[in-house]
Amino acid sequence: MGTKVFIDGHEGTTGLRIHKRLQARPDIELIGIDPAERKKTAAVKRCMEAADIVFLCLPDAAAVEAVALADGTNVRIIDTSTAHRSDPAWTYGFAELSGQQFEAISKTKRLANPGCHASGVIAAVRPLTEAGLMGGDYPLSAFSLTGYSGGGKKMIAKYESGEKPAELSAPRQYGLTQNHKHLQEIVTVCKLQREPVFLPVVDDYYSGMEVAVPVFTHLFGEKVGLAEVRDVLAAHYDGSPFVHVHAAGEDKGGFLAANSLSGYDDMDIFVTGNDERIVVTVLFDNLGKGASGAAIEYMNIMLGLDPATGLVLHG
């Protein structure tokens, strides 16, 4: 008998990708819900009670309500929303942080999946703070490009409508008040003393992210250059099936494209620049390692399986 999985919000962008990846797996039994009942408390509760694992692919408020329905059950919840990422009662995803994090994910019943932009910043920064190169007081900034599927069904509909206004054909900066919802998890997980300056940009392509973190090496605690920074990142992710740190010159003829991992569940890191000024660039899919792919990776870890089971990796 397979693991019983219920995807609450399976008709949304994140839920659909999880469904697509899981429906092909003989070890997983997907619990269906009548489309007319999918927002009805009693029906959702019944599905949760029948499940071993529940993915929440809902807006924040709906995710909080859904968690309350699981009270008194033994179900394990993976929440893709922002609602529980800073809740100490929940385990934060991103298994690649450390062996300890992997272990915590394997045991938890309440897992908060990382935010898509946050996944890129954390992948670039956390190994540098952990190695003592970047102090907690480092004046961090990050630039993050995302495809429009990052905004869910409503944003997809706007970008794909025949009457698209002209500005949707250009990159659009947002988060203009410096209050983006991913800042808190970035500060906590990267062990920073203050929030970074964060520049998210949504552009006219379906999916894929390019998170670029500028680094001044003269602000580091010790004298290091480009090669050492790359070595720290490469050592941190050594052996990971999901995070690949590229060697010098492995970019595409001097370009890095934000949609290059669209459709894949893993992540590429490039370290470019010179010994004084470096950019750590992280490429992945907002629906892959930024959401649905990561959520399935953590389910696999919970089930004691190879973390890459059923996922699509390019590297």
Encoded one letter per residue, x for contact with ligand NDP by CB under 6 A and - for no contact, window 286-315 reads xx--xx------------------------
Query: Active-site residue among 47, 57, 116, 190?
Result: 116
Residue 276 binding target from ligand X2W, ligand NDP, none, CB below 5 to 8 Å by type: none
Locate 210 and state its tokens: 């390019």
Q: Looking only at residues 75 through 94 of this chain, which bind ligand NDP when binding is defined by CB under 6 A?
A: 80-82
Encoded one letter per residue, x for contact with ligand X2W by CB under 6 A and - for no contact, window 171-190 reads ----------xx--------
- Rounded CA-CA distance 32/10 in Å is 9
- Binding part of the chain for ligand X2W, among 67-75, 144-152, 236-244, 255-263 by CB under 6 A, reads 144-152
Answer left, alpha or beta for residue 312, where phi above 0 means left and psi between -120 and 50 means alpha: beta
Asked whether position 14 contacts ligand NDP by CB under 6 A, the answer is yes
Applying CB under 6 A, among 20, 39, 164, 194 the residue interacting with ligand NDP is 39
Residue 200 binding target from ligand X2W, ligand NDP, none, CB below 5 to 8 Å by type: ligand X2W
Residue 209 binding target from ligand X2W, ligand NDP, none, CB below 5 to 8 Å by type: none
- Binding part of the chain for ligand X2W, among 69-77, 100-108, 150-158, 218-226 by CB under 6 A, reads 150-158
Half-sphere exposure of 61 (CA within 13 A, CB side): 1
Applying CB under 6 A, among 129, 149, 217, 262 the residue interacting with ligand NDP is 149
Q: Residue 270 corresponds to which amino acid?
A: F
Encoded one letter per residue, x for contact with ligand X2W by CB under 6 A and - for no contact, window 197-216 reads ---x-x--------------
**Please, which residue, 129 or 207, has the CB nearer to ligand X2W?**
207
Locate 151 and state its tokens: 């905004």
Asked whether position 38 contacts ligand NDP by CB under 6 A, the answer is yes
Nearest-approach distance from CB 182 to ligand X2W, in angstroms: 6
Taking the C-alpha atoms of 14, 19, 21 and 24 in order, what is their torsion angle to the nearest 10 degrees? -170
**Please, which residue, 152 or 241, has the CB nearer to ligand NDP?**
152
Question: Per-residue b/e over 46-77, b at no fewer than 16 CB within 10 Å?
Answer: bbbeebbbbbbbbeeebbbebbebbeeeebbb
Nearest-approach distance from CB 108 to ligand NDP, in angstroms: 18
Compute the residue count for the chain. Answer: 315
At 170, give phi and psi (nearest 5°): -120, 160
- Rounded CA-CA distance 30/272 in Å is 43
**In what order do the strands lie in the sheet containing 91-92?**
28-30, 3-8, 53-56, 76-79, 110-112, 91-92
Asked whether position 150 contacts ligand X2W by CB under 6 A, the answer is yes
Q: In sequence order, what are the residues at sequence separation of 6 or more whose Cβ sits closer than 8 angstroms to the Cβ of residue 306?
A: 300
Applying CB under 6 A, among 12, 52, 81, 293 the residue interacting with ligand X2W is 81
| Residue 57 known to be catalytic | no
Asked whether position 108 contacts ligand NDP by CB under 6 A, the answer is no
- Rounded CA-CA distance 289/21 in Å is 13
DSSP codes of every residue in 280-310: EEEEE-TTTTTTHHHHHHHHHHHTTS-TTTT
Residue 185, CA distances (Å) to 56, 72, 88, 193 in order: 19, 28, 12, 12
Which residue is nearest to ligand NDP, using beta carbons? 12
Site residues (vs ligand X2W, CB under 6 A):
81-82, 115-117, 146, 150-151, 155, 181-182, 200, 202
